[in-house]
Every structure is written in C-alpha cells, then in structure tokens.
A = this chain, B = another copy of it.
Amino acid sequence: MTDTVQLSLPEVHELAVRVLRHNGMSDAHAQAIARVIAAGQRDECHSHGVYRLLVTTHTLRQGKVSGTAEPIVRDRSPAIVAVDARFAFSQLAFEVGSKVLAAKARQTGLAAMAINNCYHFSALWPEVEALADQGLAAMALTPSHAWVAPAGGSRPALGTNPLAFAWPRAGHPPYVFDFATSAAARGDIELHRRSGQPIPIGWGVDASGAPTTDPEAVIQGGAMLTFGGHKGSALSTMIELMAGPLIGDLTSLDSIALDAGKGGTPCHGELILAFDPDRFGLGDLQGDQDRAERLFSSITQQGARLPSQRRFEARARSIAHGVQLSRALYSDVLALLR
C-alpha cells in the first residue's frame, strides 16, 4: 500500500461534494465550495485544497455557518450588484452574483459586487480568475479579524486583509496575484507555533509592542504586522474601509468583536470590482494587449517570476496527471462521511 492516493480532478470535486452534502450542506453550496477546493488542490495550494474539508466540516457541525441559506441578489444600480450571503460561506454568493457583475461590467465598463454577511472561506484568486476568464480585469478585497497592528502601533486594529487582482491575457493564464496585507499569513504563524519554530523579525510584536521571534507572543496578546511598513498599513486600512463601511459591512475590529473570543472564521463583507478593457480602451485593443504583454515579457525575460506562475505550473501537472493526496488526509476526509 502506497502512502499516497491518486485522484483525478473530477474525483476531487465529487469527493468534496459528497462530504459537504453528508454534513448538511445544500447541493448548490456544496458544488460551489467543491469547485474552489478542487481548484486549490489542482494548483497545489494545499491549505485551500482537500485539507479544507476537515475545517469546513468542523465549522458546519458547529452550526455557526449556514450550509443552506440561499444568497439574495439585489441589482442596486447600473454598476452595482449586492449579494446578501445570509451568513453562509461566500462561494455561492460569488457564483450567483458574478454573473450579474460580469454583465454589468460589459454594459457600463466597470461594476462592483458587494457581498454582505458572508463567512470567509478561501483565497480570493478563484474569484478574480473567474472574471478574468470572461475577459475582465478584476480586484477583490476583504477584511478579516483584527489581528494586525497599524504602522507605528503595536495593538491589533487591522485584519490580514487580502487583495487579489487578475488581468486577462490572450493565450496565457491571466496575470493574477492574491496577497495578504499582513507580513505573513495567520496560518504561517500558527504553524511555527505548533512546530516550536521561531518566526522572522517583522512578522509581529509581543504584548509590549517589541519585535519578537516568538509566535506564541504574537498570537497571545501581541499583534501581527503588515507587509511594507506604513505603505502596507495604509493599503490594509483602505481594504477595511472599502470592503467594510463602504458596503455597509463590518471592519476587522467589528468582526473579531462579534466573534467574542470563540476563534471562529471572520464574518464580513467583500468587494469585487470588474473592468472591461473593451469598454475602457480607445479602440486599439490589440495595441493595449501588446503593451501589457511587453510588460510581462520584460519581467520574465530578466528571470523574475510573475505572481501565480508556480500555481499555473502545478495546474498543468494536475490537469494532465491528477493530484496526489496523502493517505492519512484521504482517510481523515473519508471519515467525515461516517
């Protein structure tokens, strides 16, 4: 018996649907979440792949996140669609709303989707990539829980606040990035704590505000730091405002206060912007694309990588050969069907 299990991508999707359905999720939610889990596994983003079924099932069994609420889509203006996720995970809300978002972006050149009352589930790249696959440029932003100190401070005020962006490319996967505005992911600091490893200086401060290499000190009473000093801190604050108060939803401070120490997943809003290059350009779309491609070539020809390049290489492998799961993980997931 080998210690890995080989699955095709449709098998990953089907496994995820079975587990989620078995644990009380509606088919619509299960299909939407299975799509991002299969995408995460396919791109070798392991923390967003099959492993995520363990976390998600645990959350579902706790009953805090709805597995069945149907999102309500509201057409609010020629350029705004709002989706009330009704305290379910955000994926189904995104899938339902993004059809309206894309249609509006094609009609008016740019459009926004506000998702309210959703639980954060996955990375944001599947969302901006889905829009880029339709020929749209897209940005997505969301607050999280207040774990991160602002530049010049030492106490949590900001979330890990990811920003994702995608730009459609003819004949190539899109240009995509998706980064946390914290210096490190919360999960990376947790992993260091569990394995007893020190963290690099710059990831966080202790309760006194002093830089520390002790992950425990950051998590217990200290604070994470943003990337990029005062610039990263400013960008993170923008994400709070745009995906929080602008759309009538919570900041990371509000979200962690609502959680009241239970350690639950952030409950908040998300803002997605979509831009149609056909509508913005001045009639020379080929020239516009060529200028973007020259920029990408200038980056790659000097040996630098485009963001997500590693993911796209993993994707090509997974599409050709399927994915490998550790037998231990596979057994843990199958146990969720009991």
Contacts and interface: CB of A to CB of B under 8 A. Distances in A.
Given A245-B289, A304-B152, A235 B235 contact: yes
Interface in A123-164: 137, 139, 146, 149-155, 157, 163
Q: On chain A, which size bracket covers the interface?
A: 35 or more
A77 B245 contact: no
Interface of A is mostly: mixed
B153 A299 contact: yes
Interface string A228-258: 1111101101101110111110110110000
> Copies per complex?
2
Contacts of A110: 79-80, 110-112, 273
A229 B107 CA distance: 37
A303 B157 CA distance: 12
A248 B282 contact: yes
Contact of A279 (B76, B139, B155): B76
A124 to B, nearest CB: 13
Contact of A157 (B76, B248, B280, B295): B295
A284 interface: yes
Contact of A78 (B108, B235, B251): B108
A263 interface: no
Interface of A: 76-80, 82, 107-112, 114, 116, 137, 139, 146, 149-155, 157, 163, 165, 167, 175, 177, 179, 181, 227-232, 234-235, 237-238, 240-242, 244-248, 250-251, 253-254, 273, 275, 277, 279-284, 287-289, 291-292, 294-295, 298-299, 302-305, 307
